[in-house]
Amino acid sequence: MTKIRIAVQKSGRLNQESLSLLKSCGVSIENGKDQLKAAARNFPLEVFYLRNGDIPQYLRDGVVDIAILGENTLIEKGANLSIIERLGFSKCRVSLAIPKGTAYNGLTYFEGKKIATSYPNTVKDYLAEKGIKADLHIINGSVEIAPNIGLADAICDIVSSGSTLFKNNLKEVEVMLTSEAVLTVSPKISDEAQTILNKLQFRIQSVLKGQRSKYVLLNAPNDKLEKIISLLPGMKSPTVLPLAQEGWSSVHSVMNKDSFWDVIDELKQAGAEGILVCPIEKMVF
C-alpha cells in the first residue's frame, strides 16, 4: 500500500506544532521516543524526523514526498521547491542585529562589516539587492555570541520575541524577511502519493479555516435584521431562525477572528443582543 512520506523537524517548537496539526487532521502517529521514522495508524502516512536544514535536500532527492518546515529554511536552502500551504504557526523573522550601544543610521552600516550567520544565501542576496558588500562568517549554531567575542560586527539570525538578542546585548536593526511554517512538496512525488496529499491537504485546510474563524450566534430585532446581516461576512449567508419572542430572530454566522472585535462593536451598535462566540474546530467545504 502506498504511503506518503512527510518530513518534520526532529525536535523543538516546529516539531510539536507540526505533530499537533497532523493530530488535528485526525492522523494518529505511533510516536516512540528517539524514533527517526514513525507510521500513522489510521492514515497512509510515514513521518521522518529530520534536521530542519537537511529537509530541502531530502525533498529534492525524493526521499520524502512532503515536508513541514520554516519558510526561512526554504528560502535559504530550498530553491525551486514549491510552497503548497501556509500553516500560520512558528512565525518569526530573519533579521540583522548589531551591538546595542552601536549607532545605526541605515544599511550602509554593514558596508565592509563582518556578519555572522547561519543564513549566508539569504544575507548575500539581500545585501546584493541593496548594493552592500559585507564579509560573511558562516556559523552553524548560536551566532549571538559572535560580536561579544570579536568574531563579527553584526549577526543575521531568526528572531521571535527578541529575548535572545536582548540577553546578548544586541538590537534588531533590519528585518530581512518574515517566516512561518509551510507545507512544501517534492518535485519527484508520485501520482499515488499526490492523491494521498490531496486528501491530507483538504484536512489541513479545514483545520486552518477553523482556527482562523469564530462561530457567532446573536439575537436581533426583526426591524434591524437587514442591517445586522449586512455586517456579517459569513460563509455564504447567515442562518436566521425565529425566536419564541415575537419580533426577534436568532442569527448564526462565521467571521474571521482577526476582524472579530470590530464587527462585534458594529453589531452591538446596530441592535444585536445576546452575542455568543464559539471556537470552530474545523470548517469543511
Domains recognised in the chain with CATH numbers: 4-90+180-210 (3.40.190.10), 92-179 (3.40.190.10), 213-279 (3.30.70.120)
Q: How long is the chain?
A: 285
Going by C-alpha positions, the residue among 100, 103, 115, 105 that lies closest to residue 153 is 115
pLDDT at position 80, please? 84
* Cα 97 to Cα 134, 161, 285, distances in angstroms: 14, 14, 44
Burial of 79 (C-beta count, 10 Å sphere; 0-12/13-18/19+) = exposed
Taking each continuous run of H as one helix and of E as one strand, the counts in the chain are 8, 15
216: helix, strand or coil: strand
**Amino acid identity at 175:** V
C-beta separation of 176 from 96 below 8 A: yes
* H or E stretch at 81: none
C-beta separation of 143 from 157 below 8 A: yes
pLDDT at position 276, please? 92
Give the Cα separation of 216 and 212 in Å (integer): 13
**Residues facing 38 on adjacent strands:** 47
pLDDT at position 88, please? 93
User: Which residue ranges in the chain fall short of pLDDT 50?
Assistant: none
pLDDT at position 140, please? 82
Q: According to the 3-state scheme, what is the secondary structure of 141-189?
A: CCCCCHHHHCCCCEEEEEECCCHHHHHCCEEEEEEEEEECEEEEECCCC
pLDDT at position 149, please? 87
pTM: 0.85
pLDDT at position 11, please? 84
Give the Cα separation of 219 and 273 in Å (integer): 5
* H or E stretch at 274: strand 273-279
Going by C-alpha positions, the residue among 112, 114, 154, 165 that lies closest to residue 137 is 114
pLDDT at position 258, please? 83
pLDDT at position 116, please? 95
